Homo-oligomer: A and B are copies of this chain.
Amino acid sequence: MKSKYISIIDIAKQLHISKSTVSRALTGHPSVHPETRSRVLELAQKLDYQRNPLALGLARNNTNIIGILVPEIMSTYFPSVIIGAQEVLHEAGYNAIICHNNESYNAEVLNTKLLLSYHVDGIIVSHTKETRNFDHFQMIQRRGIPLVFFNRTSDELNVPHVVVDDYEAAFRAVEHLIKIGRRRIAHLAGPDSLINTKLRQQGYLDALKKHKIPVDPDLVISYDLTLEKVRIYIKHFLELPQPPDALFTINDPTAIAAMEVIRQKGLSIPDDIAVVGFSNDLSARLVSPGLTTVAQPTFEIGREAARLLLQDITSTVKNDYSVKKAPSVMLKTKLIIRESTVMKQGK
């Protein structure tokens, strides 16, 4: 049985011309007779011909496929970055293979190998919370395959990346808490493996410093983002001799889990404890009271990441990031104030 797909050769045979001519006609090569071209295009249309990108990839050694590697797709953050990236990629004629690894380092390494085996033209990455070893990414770079990081980046590696100003965002979030009169502000931070954690923590510390509020080490805890553990840490905060009057968390799911615990303890939000999250997940708007949080321009992060990658792919001179500083894009955040820090008017 013949293949269920029609090829360039089928068209060539039907028109009694060579496959080279058909190829040229379809790719818009200038040196092909206008009449020949239109006959080819017409038949291709009629037969609903689709060129085989796999064969194209083999022949030209570039696949027009981009790998997108994210730790998870269950929150709204990564899906919306992906959507933004795909928008730009599609426009430029590229397609994306999306890989997620449920925050597992091993799965991440396997996925990079998978993407490489597909000869992708470039990879956009936000690494897992477990990733401390970046050899697999370094290998990609050494092979000359364009790579872009977003959100979670690394000091060790010189990779083009797009981030938000985590430091400033955290600083402003904490300053907001100070401005509404809070003085004992707890911070439930993320794992040290994530650079964002460090930056946000520094923003937290510097905001306190600026307003001459002493830092209480009891009020800062780093945790591994396993939501089940939030209860323990929040309880710990609440049972301190001097419990906090505000809480700033590494992300929105953490804040929402914390709010649940606080409410169960019979405390009121924001009266007893004001809460601020990070990222403006869809759910931040849905919970009650609404969660004050830092909004990230997720779509734009995806778009920028795709743009950076395409620059590297299409640039004629290969950028050697072992010599040259990799470009980075830093996008603005916005503090969204809701009822978890400020009571609504007229309520």
Contacts and interface: CB of A to CB of B under 8 A. Distances in A.
Contact of A82 (B4, B73, B256): B73
A100 B63 CA distance: 21
Contacts of A102: 83
A145 B63 contact: no
Given A50-B117, A53-B118, A98-B98, A256 B286 contact: yes
Given A54-B118, A286-B256, A286-B286, A3 B61 contact: yes
Nearest to A284: B286
A9 interface: no
A329 interface: no
Number of copies: 2
Contacts of A82: 73
Interface string A69-91: 00001101001101100000000
Contact of A286 (B5, B58, B83, B287): B287
Contacts of A32: none
Given A73-B82, A79-B74, A80-B74, A116 B283 contact: no
Interface of A: 3-5, 50-55, 57-58, 61, 63, 73-74, 76, 79-80, 82-83, 95, 97-98, 100, 102, 113-114, 116-119, 143-145, 256, 282-283, 286-288
Contacts of A51: 117
B73 A5 contact: no
A117 B52 contact: yes
Given A4-B143, A288-B288, A54 B50 contact: no
Contact of A282 (B74, B83, B95, B100): B74
Nearest to A256: B286
A83 B102 CA distance: 9
B50 A116 contact: yes
A41 B167 CA distance: 49
Given A55-B58, A286-B283, A73 B63 contact: no
Contact of A288 (B5, B113, B287): B287
Given A73-B73, A282-B74, A52 B114 contact: no
A247 to B, nearest CB: 17
A52 B57 CA distance: 11
Contacts of A95: 97, 114
A267 to B, nearest CB: 15
Contacts of A54: 54-55, 57-58, 63, 118-119
A119 B73 contact: no
A55 B54 CA distance: 7
Given A53-B118, A54-B58, A256-B286, 17 more contacts: A3-B61, A4-B143, A4-B144, A5-B119, A50-B113, A50-B116, A52-B117, A54-B55, A73-B79, A74-B80, A74-B282, A83-B100, A95-B114, A282-B283, A283-B286, A286-B286, A287-B287
Among A54, A83, A95, A113, max chain B CB count under 10 A is at A54
A287 B290 CA distance: 9
A142 to B, nearest CB: 9
A73 to B, nearest CB: 4
29 contacts: A4-B144, A4-B145, A5-B119, A50-B113, A50-B116, A51-B117, A52-B58, A52-B117, A52-B119, A53-B117, A53-B118, A54-B55, A54-B57, A54-B63, A54-B119, A73-B73, A73-B79, A74-B79, A74-B80, A74-B83, A83-B100, A95-B97, A95-B114, A97-B97, A283-B283, A286-B286, A286-B287, A287-B288, A288-B288
